[in-house]
């Protein structure tokens, strides 16, 4: 798979360590949105889209974020030590998020980071030009979703549980 397009939306000075939001297109067919470009102690790195990890209230069964002190549904006081640490390191930060999409190996991550950082630097240069208009990451490929599509059942899609 090749990274065929990178769209970069700069955060400007108000972003702090967050430098940009990116949208990555692979093989002109698959898009990953909400990729963050962050300034870390060793330079720029990518943070892939993620979701907050949750668990269930022992009293009512409702889902709550691991940082929650009380259940959002019934108000029951939750155990504050219920979140897990990164495997193999008891001194690491708590694992509160899980990646939705991510590279499988370091070589792939390095290649994607290199391409995204290059696109970020080009966008930074463009932003210094008069009349600069930032790209709208939400407009990407939305016209396709406006066209009616025939209904597809599970067998037609090739998706099997």
Could you state, in order of their start, the residue ranges of all structural domains in the chain? 3-49+100-144, 51-98
Could you tell me the two tokens for 7? 């769209």
pLDDT at 103 over 50: yes
pLDDT tens-digit profile of 134-146?
887 776 554 444 4
The answer to whether 88 touches 95, Cβ cutoff 8 Å, is: no
pLDDT tens-digit profile of 54-102?
999 999 999 998 889 999 999 999 988 777 655 555 566 667 888 888 8
Its sign, for the CA torsion 134, 17, 49, 81, is: negative
* Per-residue pLDDT band at 152 (split at 50, 70, 90): very low
For residue 151, the model assigns a pLDDT of 46
pLDDT at 154 over 80: no
pLDDT at 7 over 90: yes
Task: Give me the CATH code for the 3-49+100-144 domain, please.
Answer: 3.30.1120.40
For residue 95, the model assigns a pLDDT of 78
Q: What is the pTM of this model?
A: 0.68
For residue 67, the model assigns a pLDDT of 87
For residue 20, the model assigns a pLDDT of 95
């Amino acid at each position: 798979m090749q990274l065929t397009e990178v769209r970069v939306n700069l955060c400007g000075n108000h972003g702090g360590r967050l430098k940009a939001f990116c949208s990555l297109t692979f093989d002109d067919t698959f898009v990953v949105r909400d990729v963050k470009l962050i300034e870390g102690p060793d330079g720029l790195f990518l943070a892939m889209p993620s979701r907050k990890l949750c668990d269930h209230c022992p009293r009512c069964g409702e889902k709550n974020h691991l940082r929650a002190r009380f259940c959002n549904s019934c108000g029951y006081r939750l155990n504050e030590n219920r979140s897990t640490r990164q495997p193999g390191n008891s001194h690491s930060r708590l694992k509160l998020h899980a990646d939705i999409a991510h590279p499988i190996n370091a070589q792939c991550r390095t290649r994607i980071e290199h391409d995204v950082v290059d696109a970020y630097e080009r966008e930074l240069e463009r932003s210094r030009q008069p009349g600069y208009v930032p790209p709208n990451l939400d407009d990407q490929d939305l016209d396709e979703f406006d066209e009616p599509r025939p209904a597809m059942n599970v067998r037609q899609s090739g998706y099997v549980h």
